């Protein structure tokens, strides 16, 4: 999956030089919810830095490759379990980190350099890394096998949202983004998120 995504990004970036391209970055904050089997659901309060390269620009559309990095904190629990019962739950402050690589299709506000649209939308998918520092526990699964969970995972991810043009001639935009990641390794979490990002 990672190789396929990398090859796709290289191919798109190697398109004819007649296609315009530009770099943008944004800053914002949000909330993510992490859920995994045998573990308590956690709510993370996050801050995001969102750089992206926009290319293949047409009148109102473009593609972009971005790495929206999010870091945050949560109140987590470290626990052990046996025979389906948890014990030694300890409350603690945990940290999280998301580093996805996303290929997006963009329309309207924020899609092209110099665009003046009032609104726009985007959607895309990619592959990412998720780390949750306090997410380590020992337990027995449904088959009675002893398990320990790591605190990081790799998996597929997707996002979608809309942008509202802001500032002089709407050169900047406010982005509302909804995200989902499915971890495919280690403890295989589901991570849902919503972010509000101001793109420069």
Domains (range + CATH), the chain:
2-14+40-199 (2.40.160)
How large is the average pLDDT for residues 24-45? Answer: 91
Q: What is the CA radius of gyration of the chain?
A: 19
Q: Alpha helices, DSSP H only, in the chain? A: 2-13
Least confident of 38-47, 75-84, 163-172: 75-84
End-to-end CA distance of the chain: 31
Q: What pLDDT shows up at residue 40?
A: 78
How large is the average pLDDT for residues 40-65? Answer: 94
Question: What's the CA gap between 68 and 134, in Å, rounded?
Answer: 22
Mean pLDDT of the chain: 83
Among 144, 140, 130, CA closest to 79: 140
How many beta carbons lie within 10 A of that of residue 191, not counting itself? 24
Q: What pLDDT shows up at residue 74?
A: 86
Q: What pLDDT shows up at residue 135?
A: 47
Task: Name the band, by pLDDT with cuts 50, 70 and 90, for residue 16.
Answer: very low
Is the model's pTM score more than 0.85? no
Task: Name the band, by pLDDT with cuts 50, 70 and 90, for residue 17.
Answer: very low
**Number of helical (H) and strand (E) elements in the chain, helices listed first:** 1, 11
* Percentage, residues of the chain above pLDDT 70: 74
Among 138, 133, 132, CA closest to 87: 138
């Amino acid at each position: 999956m990672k190789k396929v995504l990398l090859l796709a990004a290289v191919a798109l970036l190697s398109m004819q030089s007649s296609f315009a391209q530009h770099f943008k970055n944004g800053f914002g904050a949000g909330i993510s919810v992490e859920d995994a089997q045998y573990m308590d659901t956690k709510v993370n309060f996050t801050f995001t830095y969102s750089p992206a390269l926009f290319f293949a620009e047409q009148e109102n559309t473009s593609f972009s490759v971005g790495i929206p990095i999010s870091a945050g904190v949560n109140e987590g629990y470290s626990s052990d379990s046996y025979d389906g019962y948890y014990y030694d739950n300890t409350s603690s402050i945990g940290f999280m980190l998301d580093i996805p690589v996303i290929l997006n299709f963009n329309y309207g506000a924020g899609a092209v350099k110099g665009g003046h649209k009032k609104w726009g939308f985007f959607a895309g998918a990619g592959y990412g890394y998720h780390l949750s520092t306090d997410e380590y526990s020992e337990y027995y699964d449904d088959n009675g096998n002893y398990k320990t969970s790591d605190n990081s995972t790799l998996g597929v991810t997707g996002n979608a949202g809309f942008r509202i043009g802001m500032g002089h001639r709407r050169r900047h935009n406010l982005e509302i983004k909804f995200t989902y990641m499915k971890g495919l390794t280690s403890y295989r979490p589901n991570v849902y998120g919503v972010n509000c990002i101001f793109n420069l």
